[in-house]
């Protein structure tokens, strides 16, 4: 017996409903796969919001150059930073007035203008003093006038380090460092890391035959 048209229609509708139900439970928002994907995606998004972005510095980079604004407001922005030093340990010695004595250099300069010593030795002591200053500050004292060099060596520097005793007998009333004949030594800066040291000699006048000049070893080799 053949099924009626009404029965056929009902069967088709029932099949469509069943197929829709299967597809819904398999692919719909309530499916386990969909929920897992939703939870995982949400967790990843939340972690991305909670974790700050990290920017790795370039290999070996420890210094950030100053900006144009910093250079305009601070002409010394490019000056090298002083070395980290243990100012509480020898050869440094802290003083009650806030200065720090560089004891090894101060004691070395006790021999400056000593009797029986050649002027070249005096100039050598000055060179070694400036070398000590340069090792700490990475440059010579600013400018090269005798008084300016003396000021830097007697504490007018960023760390208030004293290399030269302010009461040294070779210092004049005008705070200039004098040679053994009473004439101010001449400090001639060649560059930020080289300096020439001169004494006017016994006649006390620069530009004569008895002038005594000591170049730094690097300059002497370059000029030879």
Both ends of the chain: CA-CA distance in Å? 127
Token reading at 97: 């007035």
Would you say residue 30 lies in a domain?
A: no
Cβ proximity of 163 and 133 under 8 Å: yes
Would you say residue 23 lies in a domain?
A: no
Percent of all residues in the chain with a pLDDT value above 70, rounded to a whole number:
64
The size of the chain, in residues, is 224
Average pLDDT across the chain, whole number:
78
Would you say residue 47 lies in a domain?
A: no
Tell me, what CATH number does 107's domain have?
Answer: 3.30.700
Q: pLDDT digits over 144-168, tens only? A: 799 999 999 999 999 999 999 999 9
Cβ proximity of 104 and 165 under 8 Å: no
Domain count, the chain: 1
Would you say residue 118 lies in a domain?
A: yes
Average pLDDT over residues 194-206: 95
Would you say residue 155 lies in a domain?
A: yes
Ramachandran angles phi, psi of 106, nearest 5°: -60, -40
Q: pLDDT digits over 56-100, tens only? A: 333 444 456 667 776 666 665 666 555 567 888 899 999 999 999
Would you say residue 62 lies in a domain?
A: no
Structural domain containing residue 210: 92-223
Would you say residue 46 lies in a domain?
A: no
Query: Is residue 203 over pLDDT 80?
Result: yes
Would you say residue 81 lies in a domain?
A: no
- Integer Cα distance of 107 and 198 in angstroms: 22
Average pLDDT over residues 95-106: 95
pTM, two decimals, is 0.60
Of 159 and 222, the one with more pLDDT? 159
């Amino acid at each position: 017996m053949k099924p009626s048209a009404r029965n056929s229609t009902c069967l088709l509708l029932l099949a469509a409903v069943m197929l829709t139900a299967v597809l819904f439970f398999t692919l719909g928002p309530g499916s386990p796969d969909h929920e897992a994907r939703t939870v995982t995606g949400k967790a990843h998004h939340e972690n991305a919001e909670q974790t700050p972005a990290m920017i790795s510095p370039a290999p070996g980079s420890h210094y950030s150059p100053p900006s144009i604004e910093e250079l305009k407001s601070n002409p010394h922005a490019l000056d090298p930073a002083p070395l980290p030093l243990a100012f509480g340990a020898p050869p440094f010695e802290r003083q009650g007035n806030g200065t720090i004595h560089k004891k090894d250099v101060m004691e070395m300069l006790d021999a400056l203008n000593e009797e029986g010593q050649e002027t070249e030795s005096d100039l050598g002591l000055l060179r070694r003093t400036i070398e000590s200053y340069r090792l700490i500050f990475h440059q010579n004292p600013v400018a090269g006038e005798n008084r300016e060099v003396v000021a830097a060596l007697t504490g007018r520097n960023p760390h208030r380090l004293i290399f030269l005793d302010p009461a040294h007998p070779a210092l004049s009333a005008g705070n200039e460092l004098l040679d053994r004949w009473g004439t101010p030594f001449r400090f001639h800066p060649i560059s930020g890391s080289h300096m020439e040291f001169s004494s006017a000699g016994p006649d006390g006048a620069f530009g004569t035959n008895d002038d005594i000049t000591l170049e730094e070893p690097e300059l002497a080799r370059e000029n030879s």
